[in-house]
Amino acid sequence: MAAPTKVPIPALLDLTIDNITPNTVKINSQSGDRRMTYLMERLVTHIHDFARETRISTEEWMAALNFLVQCGQISSDVRHEFILLSDVLGLSLLVDSINHPKPPNTTEGSVLGPFHTHDAPTLEHGADMSSDPQGEPLLCICTVKDANGKPVEGAKIDIWETDSSGHYDVQHSDRNEPTERCIMTSDANGDFWFKCILPVSYPIPHDGPVGKLLEKLNRHPWRPAHLHFMFEKKGWDHLITALYMRGDPYETSDAVFGVKKSLIVEPQKIDGATAKEYGVPEGSWVLKHDFVLTTEKETADLRDRLAHEALEKQGLDLKLVDHLPVPDLD
Ligand SMILES: [Fe+2]
């Protein structure tokens, strides 16, 4: 165990509603890890204030703790209740927005959600990532470029969606292999194209504690129809995003707050020439979309600038170390 640092710890006796917070913060401040100290200080301060402001009852606090236990109990390799919880609280979107700010005219991020897996097959351009004959065929013709319109070659793109019943493959207990998901790589022109099915709206899993919470709040569990995308390439900011189908009934009430105007798209009926060129049946849907990536450096600079502005507004004596705020003790 690490030796305690020289933070003077008062005798922790006779703590009260008013003095328990500074004393808890002090005893948590011995690690010498400034970031950890800062995170714990803010967590304890906010959670103690929450208790004081709400005059929370013992029963309510126990219900909250039991709720967290239930979130753990229902979670598994393919069920991530805590991601869902973070999603429905708006926290996932918030954390992504803080960490991956986007300059204007670049592709905005959206929520990862709980259904990304690491076993998607790598497919060639033009391949069909869906094996669902009930779905309406959709051809996606996409590019990956930088903010100046230069193609980004060799980006790894993870793509995933539900089947036509609104379920991801991992939600089927008889899942033998990944379906409705794939990995592609952008070519020298920054292009990639694939076949899939027209996404449908679906409810997030709501048979567990998070679903019960939504019900209590009189909230629906639906997400508007979307396709998930994740872009990875060394030197470029990791982009997790999604494209949302225009006109979906849940477009403005997404249960997990993922929709952004710039991510709403409108598939069209394919014309004969394009259908022939890409070898898809006439009557298919087609979606053309250009994704714009930012470099890691651009994102880091923007994140730092926004962090400085936010810290200044809070009037706290902080500085950035490794791009993260810590108390300025120097
Ligand atoms: Fe999704």
Q: Would you give per-residue pLDDT tens digits along the chain (330 residues)?
A: 556 556 677 788 889 999 999 999 999 998 889 999 999 999 999 999 999 999 999 999 999 999 999 999 999 988 899 999 999 999 999 999 999 999 999 999 999 988 999 999 999 999 999 989 999 999 999 999 999 999 999 999 999 999 999 999 998 888 889 999 999 999 999 999 999 999 999 999 999 999 999 999 999 999 999 999 999 999 999 999 999 999 999 999 999 999 999 999 999 999 999 999 999 988 899 999 999 999 999 999 999 999 989 888 888 778 888 889 888 877
- Taking the centre of ligand 1 as the mean of its atom positions, its distance from the CA of residue 227, in whole angstroms, is 7
pTM of the model: 0.89
State whether the Cα torsion 140-146-149-154 is positive or negative. Answer: negative
Q: What's the 176 CA to ligand 1 centre distance in angstroms? A: 20
User: Residue 274 half-sphere exposure, CB side, CA atoms within 13 Å?
Assistant: 15
Sequence-ordered alpha helix ranges (H) in 127-283: 209-216, 272-278
Task: Tell me the CA–centroid distance for residue 207 and ligand 1, in Å.
Answer: 17
Q: Give residue 278's region: left, alpha or beta (phi > 0; psi -120 to 50).
A: alpha
Cβ atoms of 303 and 101 closer than 8 Å: yes
pLDDT in the model for residue 5: 56
**pLDDT value of residue 8:** 76
Report the Cα–Cα distance between both ends of the chain, in Å, rounded.
Answer: 26
What is the CA(201)–ligand 1 centre distance, in A?
A: 9
- Compute, in angstroms, the gap from residue 190 CA to the centroid of ligand 1: 25
Residue 153 tokens read as 């070659």
Amino acid present at 61: W
What letters, b where the CB count within 10 A reaches 16 and e where it falls short, cover 157-174?
bbbbbbbbebbbbbbeee
314/222 Cα distance (integer angstroms): 36
Q: Measured between alpha carbons, how far is 166 from 169 in angstroms, rounded to an integer? A: 10
Q: Are strands 181-185 and 191-197 parallel, antiparallel or unpaired?
A: unpaired
Which residues have CB less than 5 Å away from ligand 1 (the ion)?
Answer: 113
pLDDT given for residue 66 in this prediction: 98
Nearest Cα residue to 199 out of 219, 225, 217: 225
Q: b/e map of 99-136 (b: 16 or more CB within 10 Å)? A: ebbbeeebbbbbbbbbbbeeebeebeeeeebbebeebe
d(CA 115, ligand 1 centre) in Å: 7
